[in-house]
Amino acid sequence: MTLQRKAAPDSRALTRSGAGAAPRRPLRVRFSRWVKGGGIWAIVFGAPLLIIFGYFAWGPIISGVVLSLQKTNFLTTTWVGWSNFEFVLTDPVLPKAVGNTLLFTAISLLIGAPLPLALAVVMAELRRRKGLYSALAYLPVVIPPVVGILLWKVMYLPGKEGLLNSILGSVGLGPFAWLNSEQMVIPSMVVASTWAGAGTAVIIYLAALGGVRPELYEAAELDGAGVWRRIWHVTLPQIRGIVLILLLLQIIGTLQVFNEPKLLTGGGPNNASITILMVIYQYGFVNSNYGAAAALSVMLALALALISVAYQFATRRWSDND
C-alpha cells in the first residue's frame, strides 16, 4: 500500500493570501486603544515643549537663512538672492580671517587637546589632595570670560611693564611684543583660551577616569605594566569615546573663536588676529550689513556641519570598538 503524504501548505502563499496573517483590528478599535493608552495626553503635554523648542532652536536658523537672501535695515526689505554670498566671497578680508581661524584651531588642538587629558591622568594617579587639584584646575572656568581675557591683556602688555615680560626679564629674556606682533598674536590668544577652557575638560576626563574598572589596572600591574603602559593600554582605550567627543567640541568651539581676538586685539595688528566671527560681527554690528552677516553665518554653519559629519565617519571605527 502506498502512503501519500499531504503536501504542507506553502507559508508564503498563505501570507500573500492573508490566511496566515494576524487579523487586523478595525481602525476605530485601534484609535480607542490609543486614546485609552494616554496618547492624547502625550500630545497635550509634549506639543508645547516641541513648539517652544522649535521656535527658539530652529526659528533663528530659519530666520538666518531667509535673512541671508535679503537686504534689509529691518524697516524695508528686498530680496537679493545670492548677492550677499557673492559679496562675502569677494571680500578681501575673508581669506585672512579664514586663515587666522584655521591657525588658531590648529594650535589650540596641538596645545589644548592633550593638556587637559594629561592633567586629568596625572590627577587620577595622585593618592592625596585630588580634590584640591581638581578645584585649582577648574578655578579659571568660574572666572567670567571677559575678566579672564582682560587679565591676560594686562599680562601681555608690551615692554617691561607687562607682567610676563617682567618675569621673563628677570632671567634675561624679552621683552616680547606678544599681542603687537603678527607672529606671536595667535599663539598668545591660544594660551589665554586654553587657560580659560581647560578646566572643564579636566573635570570631564576625571569623571571618565573614575568609571574605569580598577581590576583592569590590577591586571595590568600583575602583568608588570608600568605607568605609561597602563595609561596607553588601559586608560586611553577606556575613555576614547569621551576623548573623541571633547575633541569634536573643541574643533567646533575654536572655529567660532570671538572673545579673545575681540577683547585682546580687536583683530590687529594689521588683521593678523581677525577671525571669521569677527568679520560677521563687523558686517552686522559695525556696517549694518545684516544680509552679509547672515550669509557668512550660514556658510560657517554648513562648514561646521560638514566637518562634524566627516569627523563622525573618520572616527566611527574607534567609537564602535567601545
Q: Has residue 68 been placed in a domain?
A: no
Reported residue count of the chain is 322
Q: Has residue 186 been placed in a domain?
A: yes
- Residue-level pLDDT at 222: 85
- Residue-level pLDDT at 22: 58
Nearest to 264 by CA among 201, 198, 191: 191
- Residue-level pLDDT at 4: 46
Question: CB-based contacts of 96: which residues, under 8 Å, 6+ apart?
Answer: 271, 274
Q: Domain range spanning residue 129?
A: 95-260
**Contact yes or no for 210/187 (Cβ under 8 A):** no
State the total domains in the chain. 1
pLDDT tens digits, the chain, 322 residues: what are they? 444 444 444 444 444 444 555 566 677 788 888 887 877 888 888 889 999 998 998 898 999 999 999 988 888 888 998 999 999 999 999 999 999 999 999 999 998 888 888 888 888 877 677 778 778 888 888 888 888 898 998 899 887 778 888 888 888 887 888 888 899 999 999 999 998 888 888 889 888 888 888 888 888 888 888 878 888 888 888 888 899 999 999 999 999 999 999 999 988 888 999 999 999 999 999 999 999 999 999 999 999 999 999 998 888 877 665 5
Q: Has residue 283 been placed in a domain?
A: no
Q: Has residue 57 been placed in a domain?
A: no
> Residue 210's domain is classified under what CATH number?
1.10.3720.10
Q: What is the pTM assigned to this prediction? A: 0.81
- 310-314 contacts: CB < 8 A, separation 24 or more? 311/248, 311/251, 312/248
Q: Has residue 301 been placed in a domain?
A: no
- Residue-level pLDDT at 108: 92
Q: Has residue 252 been placed in a domain?
A: yes
- Residue-level pLDDT at 23: 62
- Residue-level pLDDT at 3: 42
- Residue-level pLDDT at 280: 95
**Contact yes or no for 204/246 (Cβ under 8 A):** yes
Q: Has residue 277 been placed in a domain?
A: no
Q: What's at 98, amino acid-wise? A: V
Q: Has residue 160 been placed in a domain?
A: yes
Nearest to 69 by CA among 299, 316, 286, 268: 299
